[in-house]
């Protein structure tokens, strides 16, 4: 006897194409154009913030920076779908999500200067801090979602992982646990095609990254990650369903810039590839859509950009006036102060090293 032990497939969803045209069969019923306009402004803001951060780093006014340009639809679409009570678990590239959820802009720039004080999550802001060890945030996200379920909370966890991150053991462990316990977690795979210099095709032989969820009984979908409407739709649906269990959403997008400011992508990828993806710019299609609807024009774009830049510049000024605790660097590694670190800290204070 031969029967099928398992059969599965993964849907791909695009609602707004590269030309701003809508597939009416996929358009979310509750999504007003006013919200698409807000998302567009938020995407513009994320891009402006990105350009400013890069410029500050190049001037020696900020530490290493991981650009988000190209990934605005994935970040803003997911951020707008989240409810206030939902918990956001980032890796290190979701500056757009932080800002769209109301993280203080001046704190963002304090962190950019390399001071831990800026990474402090304000009271009531439902997020963990930036996480650099790839994949390590995933078990935390699933553990938190387990706690929410146990406590009967009406909240979900929305966690982010890169295409490279989906090869980590912690990703699979988290995925398996989430499936078994049916916890309220939405895992966003921000597939930007590159893990530093390792391309997506060399990362895994899996046809999609989303399908990794099928092996552990989790619903999954792949969306055009440069289509903010598709991303918003998939995330909203996953959150509505979170009480029933987890969802994995693979957002297919592209890292238009370098991995971080320490990287030079021209050494490992072609200009043609970048140019090809530039045609699928996530902002361009929303702009076209809003122009056609008569909800946007060049004057509004100029005015909005000026206002956003002013807001960003004011935050940078404030952040540059921030005086960090000079021995702060000794304080955040342990929950207690080991003797040897205390000695180093005392020596540092005695020698006034920062003056």
Ligand X SMILES: Cc1ncc(C[n+]2csc(CCOP(=O)(O)OP(=O)(O)O)c2C)c(N)n1
Q: Which residues participate in catalysis according to the annotation?
A: 255, 259, 268
Sort residue 78 into left (φ over 0), alpha (ψ -120 to 50) or beta: alpha
Q: Are strands 87-89 and 12-13 parallel, antiparallel or unpaired?
A: unpaired
What b-and-e string marks burial along 32-61, b requiring 16 or more CB atoms within 10 Å of the CB?
eeeebbebbbbbbbbbbbbebbbebbeeee
CA dist 131 and 115 (Å) reads 15
227 touches Mg ion (CB under 5 A): no
71 lies in the binding site for Mg ion (CB under 5 A): no
Q: Which residue is nearest to Mg ion (CB)?
A: 162
207 phi/psi in degrees, rounded to 5: -65, -40
Q: Tokens for 251? A: 């957002």
- 162 near Mg ion, judged by CB under 5 A: yes
10 is a contact residue toward ligand X (CB under 6 A): no
* Cα atoms found within 13 Å of the Cα of residue 287, Cβ hemisphere only: 13
One symbol per residue from 47 to 86: x for binding ligand X (CB under 6 A), - otherwise; what is it? ----------------------------------------
Residue 133 interacts with ligand X (CB under 6 A): yes or no: yes
Q: Contact with Mg ion (CB under 5 A): which of 42, 94, 192, 236? A: 192
Q: Which is nearer to Mg ion, 26 or 204 (CB)?
A: 204
**Would you say 189 or 283 has its CB closer to ligand X?**
189
* Residue 259, binding choice from ligand X, Mg ion, none, Cβ under 5 to 8 Å by partner class: ligand X
What sign results for the dihedral spanned by CA atoms 297, 301, 302, 306?
A: positive
| Total Cβ atoms within 10 A of residue 232 | 24
Report the residue number, 163 or 237, with the smaller CB distance to ligand X: 163
Interface with Mg ion (CB under 5 A), residue total 4
Residue closer to Mg ion by CB (options 118, 165) is 165
Residue 133, contacted partner among Mg ion, ligand X, none, CB below 5-8 A by kind: ligand X
Contact with ligand X (CB under 6 A): which of 86, 163, 224, 281?
163
Q: How far is the CB of 76 from ligand X (least distance, A)?
A: 16
């Amino acid at each position: 006897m031969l029967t099928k032990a398992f059969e599965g497939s993964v849907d791909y969803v695009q609602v707004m194409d590269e030309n701003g045209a809508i597939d009416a069969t996929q358009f979310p019923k509750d999504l007003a154009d006013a919200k698409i306009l807000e998302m567009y402004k938020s995407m513009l803001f994320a891009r402006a913030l990105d350009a400013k951060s890069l410029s500050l780093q190049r001037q020696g006014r900020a530490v290493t920076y991981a650009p988000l340009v190209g990934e605005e639809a994935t970040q803003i679409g997911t951020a707008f779908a989240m409810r206030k009570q939902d918990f956001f678990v980032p890796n290190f590239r979701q500056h757009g999500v932080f800002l769209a959820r109301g993280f203080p802009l001046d704190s963002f720039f304090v962190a950019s200067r390399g001071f831990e004080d800026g990474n402090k999550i304000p009271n009531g802001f439902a997020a963990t801090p930036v996480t650099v060890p790839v994949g390590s945030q995933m078990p935390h996200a699933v553990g938190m979602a387990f706690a929410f379920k146990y406590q009967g909370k009406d909240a979900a966890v929305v966690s982010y992982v890169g295409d490279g991150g989906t090869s980590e053991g912690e990703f699979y462990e988290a995925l398996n646990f989430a499936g078994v316990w049916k916890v309220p977690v939405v895992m966003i795979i921000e597939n930007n095609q590159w893990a530093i210099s390792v391309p997506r095709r060399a990362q895994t032989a899996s046809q999609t990254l989303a399908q990794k969820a099928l092996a552990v009984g989790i619903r999954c979908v792949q969306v055009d990650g440069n289509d903010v409407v598709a991303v918003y739709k998939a995330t909203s649906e996953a959150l509505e369903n979170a009480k029933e269990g987890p969802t994995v959403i693979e957002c297919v997008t592209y890292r238009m810039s370098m991995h971080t400011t320490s990287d030079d992508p021209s050494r490992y990828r072609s200009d043609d590839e970048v140019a090809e993806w530039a045609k699928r710019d996530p902002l361009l299609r929303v702009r076209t859509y809003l122009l056609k609807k008569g909800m946007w024009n060049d004057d509004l774009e100029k005015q909005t950009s000026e206002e956003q830049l002013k807001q960003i510049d004011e935050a940078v000024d404030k952040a540059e006036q921030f005086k960090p605790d000079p021995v702060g660097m000794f304080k955040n590694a342990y929950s207690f102060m080991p003797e040897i670190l205390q000695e180093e800290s005392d020596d540092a204070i005695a020698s006034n090293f920062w003056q």
